[in-house]
């Protein structure tokens, strides 16, 4: 049943909820405003998010805090080299009457923290694929639906560190955003040390219910988009594909091995819609697409040997294309 009488009322509720969430999360997380905005955007767009950074940057704490601010069921899965797919989705066991009974795994929650997802082999990583795309899992030939809303918020250590397995491209594409966490600024780190080494503890209050999130997701889908904005997003994605009609000769053909697929175009428009709503606009423009392009494209394009040899980063390539 609809909670809001009109889309205008829903838009105002979304902005208010976003402000309350950022305020609550800001009690615990210092200096990560852009990251928090992207994570909440992914949630409102029914997407998944991958956080990449060296240990100690509060990736796990950030996701824990967001889960506390949302009135949702939350499970954490610590990915390790010996983790099996059944440890994630569940398995069938014999009950007292010798009948097979399905025991649900930790994937059956609204918010899943996949901690250090690249610490486990590809066989186990792929157990998340169906859940992320289909919002269901299949065990022994039977499909089990997951509760909605459902989000996978994963953390990953940089792949150049020992003991990690690069995520398959098919699974990377399932993530709406890849967010790179950098070291905090000097002042932010001073504030972090002050707040984490004292006896003061902050309690994060729940601000948004599951029903509200589902309505916000539908609201984002209803936002109208001008044809020129859609054409810009699609053209930007096409520019990442080497040796195609719209490929950028100076950048794409020179430095890219592989470009982004259609899911990138879809995510650009969805994220631009949400970005517009959070900025008080009722329809996105090209600037909204540009604002979300980097975290959407950075994990969907593959550099060639020339780019790696010359030290040309993915971020530089995407910014040149924008």
Query: Which pLDDT belongs to residue 273?
Result: 95
Q: What residue ranges in 116-202 does DSSP mark as E strands? A: 136-139, 142-145, 151-156, 177-180
Given phi > 0 = left and psi -120 to 50 = alpha, else beta, which region is 48?
beta
**Per-residue tens of pLDDT for the chain, all 322 residues:** 456 667 788 888 888 888 888 888 888 887 788 888 999 999 999 999 998 877 777 777 888 888 888 888 888 898 888 888 888 988 878 777 777 788 888 999 899 988 888 888 888 887 787 788 888 888 877 888 888 899 998 888 775 566 677 787 777 888 999 988 888 788 888 888 887 787 777 777 888 888 889 999 999 999 999 999 999 999 999 999 988 888 878 888 888 888 888 999 999 999 999 999 998 888 999 999 999 999 999 999 888 898 889 888 888 888 888 8
**How many whole angstroms separate alpha carbon 237 and alpha carbon 259?**
8
Q: How many CB atoms lie within 10 A of CB 58?
A: 21
* Residue the block writes with tokens 């014999």: 94
- Report the greatest alpha carbon distance in the chain: 69
| Tokens linked to 10 | 């829903």
Rounded distance between C-alpha atoms, residue 225 and residue 219, angstroms: 13
Distance CA 180, CA 191 (A): 21
Other C-beta atoms closer than 10 Å to the C-beta of 140 total 8
8-state DSSP, 206: P
Phi-psi region of 99 (alpha: psi -120 to 50; beta: other; left: phi over 0): beta
Half-sphere exposure of 285 (CA within 13 A, CB side): 4
Q: Report CA torsion sign: 121, 122, 128, 130.
A: negative
Structure tokens at 264: 């990138």
CA dihedral 6, 8, 13, 18 (to 10 degrees): 140
Q: What is the C-alpha separation between 300 and 262, in angstroms, rounded? A: 10
**Confidence (pLDDT) at 128:** 82
d(CA 232, CA 229): 5
Helix (H) or strand (E) holding 115: strand 111-115
How many angstroms separate the CA atoms of 43 and 48, rounded? Answer: 7
Residue 244, C-beta contacts closer than 8 angstroms, at least 6 positions apart:
238, 259
Which position has the token pair 């994990």?
Answer: 299
Closest CA to 278 of 226, 223, 237, 230: 223
Strands (E) across 242-315 are located at 256-258, 302-303
Domains of the chain by start residue, with CATH: 7-211 (3.40.50.300), 224-321 (1.10.8.80)
Written as six digits, the tokens of 92 are 């069938």
Provide the pLDDT for residue 228. 95
Question: Is residue 268 within 8 Å of 296, Cβ to Cβ?
Answer: yes
pLDDT at position 160: 57
Give the DSSP letter of residue 93: E
pLDDT single digits (tens) 28-44: 887 788 888 999 999 99
Tokens of 52: 């990449």
């Amino acid at each position: 049943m609809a909670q809001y009488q009109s889309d205008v009322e829903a838009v105002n509720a979304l902005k208010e909820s976003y402000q309350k969430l950022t305020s609550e999360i800001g009690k615990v997380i210092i200096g990560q405003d852009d990251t928090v905005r992207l994570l909440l955007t992914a949630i409102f767009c029914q997407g998944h998010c991958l956080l990449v950074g060296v240990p100690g940057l509060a990736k796990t704490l950030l996701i824990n805090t967001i889960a506390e601010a949302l009135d949702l069921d939350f499970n954490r899965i610590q990915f390790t080299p010996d983790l099996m797919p059944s440890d994630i989705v569940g398995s069938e066991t014999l009950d007292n009457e010798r009948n097979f009974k399905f025991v649900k795994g930790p994937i059956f929650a609204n918010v899943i923290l996949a901690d250090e997802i690249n610490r486990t082999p590809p066989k186990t990583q792929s157990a998340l694929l169906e859940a992320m795309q289909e919002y269901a899992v299949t065990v022994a030939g039977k499909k089990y639906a997951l509760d909605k809303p459902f989000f996978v918020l994963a953390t990953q250590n940089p792949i150049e560190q020992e003991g990690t397995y690069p995520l398959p491209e098919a699974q990377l594409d399932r993530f709406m955003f890849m967010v790179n966490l950098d070291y905090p600024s000097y002042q932010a780190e001073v504030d972090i040390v002050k707040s984490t080494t004292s006896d003061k503890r902050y309690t994060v209050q729940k601000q948004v219910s599951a029903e509200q999130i589902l309505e916000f997701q539908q609201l984002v889908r209803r936002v109208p988009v001008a044809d020129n904005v859609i054409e810009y997003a699609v053209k930007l994605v096409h520019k990442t594909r080497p040796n195609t009609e719209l490929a950028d000769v100076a950048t794409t053909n020179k430095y890219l091995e592989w470009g982004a697929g259609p899911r990138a175009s879809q995510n650009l428009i969805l994220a631009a819609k949400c970005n517009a709503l959070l900025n008080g606009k009722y329809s996105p423009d090209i600037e909204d697409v540009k604002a979300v392009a980097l975290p959407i494209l950075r994990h969907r394009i593959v550099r060639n040997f020339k780019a790696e040899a010359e030290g040309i980063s993915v971020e530089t390539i995407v910014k040149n294309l924008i």
